[in-house]
């Protein structure tokens, strides 16, 4: 018996049967009985029967008295005579997003568009829960052929499930062991930033990096180590929980004038807080130039630099890895790198790529 996953039991059964329809298309195949489904999903027979009756009412299934319940060949999911396309799951984070802001929505839409252009079909994995078992269960029930995860948790169990089933799995931004990975880099952009700091006679750059394992701004740490012997002092503050960044920023901007950073690299959604604290303490924006991770939208009136990694380029590399995995499943996990750009932004909204 499959472990019963909390959530909608009827939805779990529906997903499983829809997967059968997808894989068998215009063929009529027998689906498990209500008793078999109850045993498989660990639910009551009445619940299983309700799921079947709902699909029969929608004409996805037909009931043959004394024989069983079958998929309706008239409700297949592909054109007759055409080989079914691989069905790829698409998930952002842990699938618990209630809404998508401009950046995350753009990335999600970009991945979906490029998957469709590459002749895949897409199954969005979206839940209102942070329990990873729900995503893993849905991948299993739907019989997905692979998945792309944007910003996944480093220990995402769904990746382990897919890899154990020898199915392609690609992650974007955060690496998960066993999966192919698209890694944003900002090394060249940070090299330019250090040069700018030297030209402007800045004394210090403070770099804040969150505690998330596999944080894609890890390249900033590498850049700090590489250019740490320049005339600009590099202060690195690592392993920060985003819940305490306001306290960290308050401490930084409470330092004596001569020890304030000339530039501040923010690795999470913190520009609004930094701008507010600077204004409260009377620190001019020119005194400490803010540098923001391109993954986050910028507040009105922001002035500084943006480390921007192209959504289009990342998704292009992710789809390329997915296609390669279908052709060569025996290859070890691969990493494709996308280099970011340094963009200067003024308060009027002007943007110049450096």
Which pLDDT does position 116 carry in this prediction?
Answer: 94
**Judgement on whether residues 117 and 204 belong to the same structural domain of the protein:** no
The domain of 296 spans: 187-308
Closest CA to 95 of 52, 159, 48: 159
- Say if 343 falls within a structural domain: no
**Judgement on whether residues 318 and 179 belong to the same structural domain of the protein:** yes
Residue 346: pLDDT above 70?
Answer: yes
Mean pLDDT, residues 300-321 taken together: 90
**pLDDT band at residue 325, thresholds of 50, 70 and 90?**
very high
Q: How does pLDDT run across 27-42, given as a tens digit for each residue? A: 888 999 999 999 988 8
The average confidence (pLDDT) of the chain is: 85
Residue 5: pLDDT above 60?
Answer: no
Highest average pLDDT, of 67-81, 238-252, 330-344, comes from 330-344
User: Looking at residue 156, which CATH number applies to its domain?
Assistant: 3.40.50.2300
- Say if 351 falls within a structural domain: no
**Judgement on whether residues 321 and 178 belong to the same structural domain of the protein:** yes
Q: In sequence order, what are the residues at sequence separation of 6 or more whose Cβ sits closer than 8 angstroms to the Cβ of residue 274?
A: 249, 253, 264, 266, 290
Q: Are 205 and 263 in contact (CB under 8 A)?
A: yes
> How many Å separate Cα 160 from the centre of its chain?
16
- Say if 135 falls within a structural domain: yes
Q: Are 38 and 47 in contact (CB under 8 A)?
A: yes
**Judgement on whether residues 193 and 303 belong to the same structural domain of the protein:** yes
**pLDDT band at residue 1, thresholds of 50, 70 and 90?**
very low
Q: How does pLDDT run across 154-208, given as a tens digit for each residue? A: 778 888 889 888 899 999 988 888 899 998 888 888 888 889 999 999 988 888 8
- Say if 248 falls within a structural domain: yes
- Say if 80 falls within a structural domain: no
Task: Round to whole Å and give the CA distance between 176 and 181.
Answer: 8
Which pLDDT does position 328 carry in this prediction?
Answer: 92
Q: What are phi and psi of 187, to 5 degrees?
A: -60, -50
Edge-to-edge strands of the sheet including 87-92? Answer: 121-124, 87-92, 146-150, 169-172, 180-185, 335-339
Q: Are strands 335-339 and 304-308 parallel, antiparallel or unpaired?
A: unpaired
- Say if 352 falls within a structural domain: no
Residue 232 C-beta-side C-alpha neighbours within 13 Å: 30
**Judgement on whether residues 300 and 200 belong to the same structural domain of the protein:** yes
Q: What are phi and psi of 236, to 5 degrees?
A: -110, 125
**Judgement on whether residues 302 and 192 belong to the same structural domain of the protein:** yes
Where does a domain end: 75, 95, 126? 75
On whether the pTM is more than 0.85, the answer is no
**Judgement on whether residues 174 and 195 belong to the same structural domain of the protein:** no
**Judgement on whether residues 266 and 330 belong to the same structural domain of the protein:** no
Cα distances from 301 to residues 271, 276, 285, 298, in angstroms, run 10, 11, 10, 8
- Say if 159 falls within a structural domain: yes
Q: For the chain, how many structural domains are there in total?
A: 3
Q: In sequence order, what are the residues at sequence separation of 6 or more whose Cβ sits closer than 8 angstroms to the Cβ of residue 250?
A: 277
Closest CA to 35 of 46, 51, 23: 46
**pLDDT band at residue 215, thresholds of 50, 70 and 90?**
low
Instruction: Check residues 138 and 117 and name the one with the higher pLDDT.
Output: 117
Least confident of 36-45, 83-92, 164-173, 220-229: 220-229
3-state percent breakdown (helix, strand, coil) of the chain, nearest 5? 40, 20, 40
Q: How does pLDDT run across 240-292, given as a tens digit for each residue? A: 777 788 899 999 999 999 899 999 988 766 888 899 999 999 999 889 999 98
- Say if 133 falls within a structural domain: yes
**Judgement on whether residues 191 and 302 belong to the same structural domain of the protein:** yes
Residue 295: pLDDT above 90?
Answer: no
Which pLDDT does position 263 carry in this prediction?
Answer: 92
Q: How does pLDDT run across 105-132, given as a tens digit for each residue? A: 888 899 999 999 999 999 998 875 667 7
Instruction: Check residues 186 and 211 and name the one with the higher pLDDT.
Output: 186
Which pLDDT does position 243 carry in this prediction?
Answer: 79
User: Looking at residue 60, which CATH number applies to its domain?
Assistant: 1.10.10.10
**Judgement on whether residues 110 and 155 belong to the same structural domain of the protein:** yes
Least confident of 101-110, 196-205, 209-218, 306-315: 209-218
**Judgement on whether residues 179 and 191 belong to the same structural domain of the protein:** no
**Judgement on whether residues 179 and 327 belong to the same structural domain of the protein:** yes
């Amino acid at each position: 018996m499959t472990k019963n996953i909390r959530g909608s039991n009827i939805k779990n059964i529906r997903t499983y049967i829809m997967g059968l329809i997808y894989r068998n298309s215009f063929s009529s195949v027998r689906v498990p009985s209500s008793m078999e489904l109850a045993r498989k999903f660990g639910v009551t027979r009445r619940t299983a029967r309700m799921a079947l009756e709902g699909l029969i009412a929608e004409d996805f299934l037909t009931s043959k008295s004394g024989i069983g319940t079958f998929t309706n060949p008239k409700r297949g999911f592909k054109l007759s005579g055409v080989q079914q396309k691989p069905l790829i799951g698409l998930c952002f984070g842990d699938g618990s997003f209630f809404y998508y802001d401009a950046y995350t929505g753009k990335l999600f839409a970009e991945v979906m568009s490029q998957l469709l252009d590459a002749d895949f079909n897409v199954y969005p994995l979206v839940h209102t829960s942070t329990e990873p078992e729900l995503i893993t269960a849905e991948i299993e029930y739907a019989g997905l052929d692979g998945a792309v995860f944007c910003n996944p948790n480093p220990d995402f169990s769904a990746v382990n499930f897919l890899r154990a089933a020898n199915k392609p799995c690609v992650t974007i931004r955060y690496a998960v062991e066993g999966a192919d990975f698209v890694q944003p880099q900002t090394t060249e952009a940070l090299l330019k930033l250090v040069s700018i700091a030297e030209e402007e006679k800045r004394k210090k750059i403070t770099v804040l990096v969150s505690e998330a394992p596999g944080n894609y701004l890890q390249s900033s740490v590498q850049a700090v180590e590489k250019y740490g012997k320049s005339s600009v002092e590099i202060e690195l503050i690592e392993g920060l929980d985003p819940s305490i960044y306001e306290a960290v920023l308050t401490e930084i901007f409470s330092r004596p004038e001569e020890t304030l950073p000339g530039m501040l690299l923010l690795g999470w959604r913190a520009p609004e807080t930094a701008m507010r604290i600077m204004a409260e303490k009377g620190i001019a924006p020119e005194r400490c130039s803010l540098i923001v991770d391109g993954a986050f939208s910028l507040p009105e009136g922001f002035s500084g630099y943006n480390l921007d990694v192209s959504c289009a380029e990342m998704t292009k590399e992710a789809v390329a890895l997915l296609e390669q995995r279908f052709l060569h499943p025996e290859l070890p996990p691969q990493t494709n790198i996308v280099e970011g750009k340094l963009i200067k932004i003024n308060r009027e909204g002007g943007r110049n790529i450096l």
